A = this chain, B = another copy of it.
Amino acid sequence: MSKNVTVRDHIVDKKIVDVAKLAGVSAATVSRVLNESSLVSEKTKIKVLKAIEEMDYHPNAAAKHLRSQRTMTLGIIVPDINVSYFSEIIKGIENKAYAHKYKVLICDSDNQIEKEMEYLDLLPDRTVDGMILVTPRVSDDTIQEYVKKGYVIGVVGRAVVHEDILSCKTDNVKFSNEAVRHLVEQGHQQIAYIGGYSDSLENYERMEGYMKALKEGKIPFLPSLIDNGDFEETGGYQAFCRLLERNQSFTAVYAANDEMALGVYRACRERGIRIPEDMAVVGVDNNRITEYLLPALSTVEQPKYEMGSQLTEKLIAQMSGNEQNMQKKHVIESTLIIRESSSYKRD
């Protein structure tokens, strides 16, 4: 008693029976009013509503959750909420969830797979009804394993090889092809590629688009023009420096995201390499920062908000049992935005 005193102890919550007594009905009737069941007469409904109002009654969520076996809560696992790519996706998820009366639990993993695995336990815990992964770290097999057990999982910004797992992403091959083709059209013959995590499906696909564009431009593929970062500024910086050190000249870089392109900018500034005159740069994501850079960064718009929103719509539909012939692997359009960093034509 004396040890577990918390602030909460001051509050005496009203219960449904208290409302029932005040309204002169049974708890069941109050519950019916609360849940908008039609089998209540207008007269008692008004009585009950008045009592609820009067007492400032709020139904206890935990009791509801226990009884109904659902929490109306979605979890989101992200590597870093502070990266705008992720926060825009989260915003899309949150807004759609709100529209369907779902709450959103945010799980920032700080880029640690251990934390992500831990957060995944919120599913068997029944803390959340479903989980959205916006991380490349949790493996396809792990996801598949949870889904096979019956848990609801959706994925944003990537796909999962197994069938029947909800995902929403863009077409990596297509937009990478477009981005690199644009560089080729600007007259570049040696184009470097800075990828993200080297072993991810997304990376293979972006590489594929890159190679396809080279082929179309009849440009030989040089493995020495390929390096990988980790999707962060520093990783991009380091990868670009390694590329320079190889003494394989190049006049353009395609970076797998804007953060890494930022690293390229820094390296160029340090070495007096002019963008776009000496080095053209194209990124991916269309982070807000890209517009403010000098020169403004050419990039591939990723409809982040839309990806989050659309996946959430489908996830909620699935949880409601409306999954008749629903497309599980959703691919959304992305478009190349040409700005100053690649607008210098070579001959």
Question: Complex formed: what's the CA distance from A6 to B316 in Å?
Answer: 11
**Is A152 an interface residue when CB atoms closer than 8 A count as contact?**
yes
A321 touches B94 (CB 8 A): no
**Is A24 an interface residue when CB atoms closer than 8 A count as contact?**
no
Within 8 A of B (CB), among A179-220: none
A side interface size, CB within 8 A:
61
Question: Please, what's the 1-or-0 string for A1-18, where 1 marks a CB less than 8 Å from any CB in chain B?
Answer: 000111110110100000
A71 touches B81 (CB 8 A): no
B104 touches A106 (CB 8 A): yes
Assembly stoichiometry (copies)? 2
**Is A239 an interface residue when CB atoms closer than 8 A count as contact?**
no
| Contact among B87, B127, B321 with A6 in the assembled complex (CB-CB below 8 Å) | B321
Question: Please, what's the 1-or-0 string for A291-303, where 1 marks a CB less than 8 Å from any CB in chain B?
Answer: 0111000000000
**Is A144 an interface residue when CB atoms closer than 8 A count as contact?**
no
A41-49, A62-70, A155-163, A325-333: which one contacts chain B? A62-70
Within 8 A of B (CB), among A272-294: 288-289, 292-294
B105 touches A103 (CB 8 A): yes
Chain B residues in 8 Å Cβ range of A288 = 289
| Contact among B59, B66, B289 with A60 in the assembled complex (CB-CB below 8 Å) | B66
Within 8 A of B (CB), among A98-128: 98, 103-106, 108, 110, 115, 121-122, 124-127
Chain A residues within 8 Å of B, Cβ to Cβ: 4-8, 10-11, 13, 56, 58-63, 65-66, 69-71, 73, 80-82, 84, 87-88, 90-91, 94-95, 98, 103-106, 108, 110, 115, 121-122, 124-127, 129, 149-152, 262, 265, 288-289, 292-294, 318-321
14 other contacts beyond A60-B66, A288-B289, with CB at 8 A cut-off? A7-B150, A11-B149, A13-B124, A58-B126, A60-B126, A61-B125, A80-B91, A81-B90, A84-B84, A98-B115, A103-B122, A105-B106, A265-B292, A289-B289
Per CB-CB distance, the 5 closest pairs between chain A and chain B, nearest first, are: A62-B65, A58-B124, A11-B150, A62-B66, A294-B294
